Structures are given as structure tokens and as C-alpha cells.
Amino acid sequence: MAEVTAAMVKDLREKTGAGMMDCKTALNETQGDIEAAIDYLRKKGLSKAAKKSGRVAAEGLVSVAVKGNTGVVVEVNSETDFVARNDDFQALVHGITAVTLDKGVAADVEAVKGAHYPGGGTVADAIANAIATIGENMTLRRVRGLHVPHGVVGQYIHGAVVEGLGKIGVIVALESTGDTDELSILARQIAMHVAATSPIALDSSSIDPAVVEREKSVLADKHQGKPANVIEKIVESGLKTYYKEVCLVDQVSIHADHAGKTIGQAVKDSEGKVGAPVKITGFVRYALGEGIEKQETDFAAEVASMSKA
């Protein structure tokens, strides 16, 4: 058997764009034959997947799942919304979500990608195989989990394509020793509220200090020239208004049965039905593709340019 050198691995990697370990495996399997190794990677779909990896994947699906007192949110991206409606892609997202749920709050993207995927191989292998089969770039973009020792994790999917998969996914953790049925109703209501209002933090103490300082600066700059003590009061008042807009517990509930009450007040009021104190310990909201710079395509111009070729 020919010795597989680092130079050979580097050469194969440059020719195919496949991962280093995949290249090493391919060379070992083909006794160091570069051309045979290229074919090996193509058959496995790894070379094909690598060629697509540079394309922007901003569509796809957000998934939520809850088991016991643990819930997770997962975002898997594809290039087009069409693929998001593909049964194989949906099965892939469900599979990745199941793996993430097993890992719970310890889940992160790299840990999930390296974990065993149902049916064999790793999650990363399953994604590569799906890229080769379906023909679009796909990425596991982000994962997050919440857990409470006592209580519930509520979930909500907005724009659902199928059960548990959609455009916006939210989980909300409520800690309480009270009635779980009542807690579940409340948790879902809050999750729906989060989907609609997109708070940036649970409360004012949870906001990144840099964000607060930036907001203070904006408020102060609007009133330059006024006495310092006046500006200080304006900034203080402005921050209170800001917190009502972006902090979950300070936002006014969107639900009619909590009309005019903040989420914090609604939670406090629910304690009678629940039969015990209730505390929101966290929430996660993923909106599909948020923060990804999408490529804008002028389809008519693209067709016109192709006709001139």
C-alpha cells in the first residue's frame, strides 16, 4: 500500500475542495491513487458538496422540539425556499433537531455536527450527503437549548411548513413547581408573543452593556445644548421607554386575556392558576435567515445576459 503523505492530501484537497480528513480517507481507500481518490470523493458526494459550499444559503427551516423539561431551536439553511419544502430536507432537519435535543443545553453547532446521526455517520456526513443528493448548499447555522429543573419549556413555530418546522421558532422556559398544564398554556402564549415582538433580552439587566451605552449616546446626542442635568433626566426617561420596547418582561402582552398588562405582570397573575410562583428563566427566538446577506438576483437581466453569450 502506497504511503499517504501530507503533500498528497493537500493536492487532493485543492483539486476537490473536500475536507482534509475526507481526503486522507479517500487516499487510504484507493492506495494513494489521486484520480481514484477524486472518484471516491465524488461518489460519496463530498467533492460535489465542497463545490457548492460557497453559495449563499439563506433559506431553509427553523425547527423546535421539546422533550421533558428541555427544548431546542435549530436553524438549517438551504439556497432556496423550494428545497425547504422537499421531504428529504425536512427529514434532515428533523434528524438534526433530534440529535440536538439529545445534547440539550450543551448543544452547539460543532458538537452537533460531530455527533452520531440516526442511520449512520455524523450529522456533518448527513448534511454533505443531502447536498450531493438535493443539489444545493446547506448549512447547520445555529442551535440553542433551554432546560428547567422544575417547570416547562414552551414552544411555538410561526409560518409552519410541517409540524415543528417553519420560518420563526421560539422556546420559552418557565420555572415553577405548579400545575404543568397551566404552565404549558402560559409558556405557549409567551412564545407566540416573542415571535411577534422579537425582544432582545429578558429584562434590562440582561441587555449587553454596550447596547445600553449606545442607546444612551443616541438619546443624549438628540438633546445637545441643553443643561447636563436635563439631558440626564431625558436619557433616564428614554431608557425606560426603550426597555419597554425590547425587554420581554416589560413588553405589553399581545394576548387579549392579558390586555394592557406586561408579560411580567401576566406571569405574576398566572401564579393563582398555576398554584406556585412562576419565573421566566430564558427564551430563544430564531427567525430564518436573519443577519445573512442575501444575494439579490434580477432574473430578467440574468436571462438576457445568457441570451447574449
DSSP codes, 127-139: HHHHHHHH-S--E
Q: Closest by alpha carbon to 105, among 155, 147, 65, 73?
A: 147
Q: Tell whether the model's pLDDT for residue 301 goes beyond 60.
A: no
Q: Which of 6-15, 79-88, 275-284 has the lowest mean pLDDT?
A: 6-15
Q: Tell whether the model's pLDDT for residue 157 goes beyond 50.
A: yes
Q: In DSSP terms, which residues pair with 279 in a beta bridge?
A: 175
The owner of cell 414552551 is 154
Q: How far is CA 25 from the centre of its chain?
A: 32
Residues whose CB is less than 8 angstroms from the CB of residue 132 and which lie 6 or more positions away in sequence, other chains included: 44, 45, 46, 48, 49
- Three cell numbers written together for 133: 443528493
CA atoms of 284 and 159, how far apart (whole Å): 17
Per-residue burial over 189-223, b if 16 or more Cβ lie within 10 Å, else e, is bbbbbbbebebebbebeebeeeeeeebbeebbeee
The pLDDT-based confidence of 81 (bands split at 50, 70, 90) is confident
Nearest 10 degrees: CA dihedral of 189, 190, 194, 196?
30
Total-model pTM: 0.76
pLDDT, tens only, 206-259? 999 999 998 988 888 888 888 888 888 999 999 999 999 999 999 999 998 888
The owner of cell 499517504 is 4
The pLDDT-based confidence of 55 (bands split at 50, 70, 90) is low
The pLDDT-based confidence of 295 (bands split at 50, 70, 90) is low
pLDDT of residue 273: 95
CA atoms of 196 and 168, how far apart (whole Å): 9
What share of the chain has pLDDT > 90, as a percent?
60
Average pLDDT, the chain: 87
User: 3-state DSSP helix/strand/coil percent for the chain, to nearest 5?
Assistant: 50, 20, 30
Residues whose CB is less than 8 angstroms from the CB of residue 176 and which lie 6 or more positions away in sequence, other chains included: 150, 151, 152, 183, 274, 276, 277, 278, 279
pLDDT, tens only, 26-36? 899 898 888 88
Query: Which of the two residues, 199 and 300, has the higher pLDDT score?
Result: 199
Q: Which domains does the chain have, with CATH numbers?
A: 6-52 (1.10.8.10), 59-205+247-287 (3.30.479.20), 208-245 (no CATH)
Per-residue burial over 260-279, b if 16 or more Cβ lie within 10 Å, else e, is eebbbebbeebbeebeeebe
Strand spans (E) along the chain: 59-67, 70-78, 139-147, 151-158, 165-166, 168-175, 279-287
Q: Tell whether the model's pLDDT for residue 287 goes beyond 60.
A: yes
The owner of cell 448534511 is 127
The pLDDT-based confidence of 12 (bands split at 50, 70, 90) is confident
DSSP code of residue 55 = S
Residues whose CB is less than 8 angstroms from the CB of residue 138 and which lie 6 or more positions away in sequence, other chains included: 57, 60, 76, 77, 78, 79, 83, 89, 92, 127, 130, 131
Q: With left for phi above 0 and alpha for psi between -120 and 50, is residue 121 left, alpha or beta?
A: left
CA atoms of 256 and 295, how far apart (whole Å): 40
pLDDT of residue 294: 58
pLDDT of residue 305: 47
Across the range 101-124, mean pLDDT stands at 93
Q: Tell whether the model's pLDDT for residue 56 goes beyond 80.
A: no
Q: Alpha helices, DSSP H only, in 135-224?
A: 180-197, 209-221
Contact between 42 and 142 under an 8 Å Cβ cutoff? The reply is: no
Across the range 40-54, mean pLDDT stands at 60
